Amino acid sequence: MSSLGLYAERSHRIHSRKRLRLTIRWRLREVMARQRMTNKRLAELMGVHPNAISYLRNQDTFPRIGEETFNALCKFLDCTPFDLIEYIPDEEKDLD
């Protein structure tokens, strides 16, 4: 078999596999509502601008935040990281 044939066969095997897409749902909106915490108050406690809290609050999937921010959210909302995130596996999807 030619090298092109081997490449095509290998490529087909890779692309015919199923992939599971994982989603981490960001639940800051729900946690803040439960705590009756406003953007302004949380921003004051964390020492950030209220727009930064608004941005984080409006995310549906886990945002790129640093350890310090994540720790501060947990501290000032009196919650654990698992209160702020939820793991939701999507259905398998064909790559074909």
Quick one: CA torsion of 46, 47, 48, 54, rounded to 10 degrees?
40
Supply the pTM of this predicted model.
0.68
Count Cβ atoms within 10 A of the Cβ of residue 46 and give its class: 0-12 exposed, 13-18 middle, 19 or more buried: middle
Give per-residue pLDDT as tens, 42-88: 999 999 999 999 999 999 888 999 999 999 999 999 999 999 999 88
Question: In the predicted model, what is the mean pLDDT of the chain?
Answer: 81
Kindly tell me if the per-residue pLDDT of 18 is higher than 60: no
The domain 20-94 is placed in CATH, from the list 3.40.50.360, 1.10.260.40, 3.10.20.30, 3.40.1190.20, at 1.10.260.40
Ordered by start, the domain boundaries in the chain are 20-94
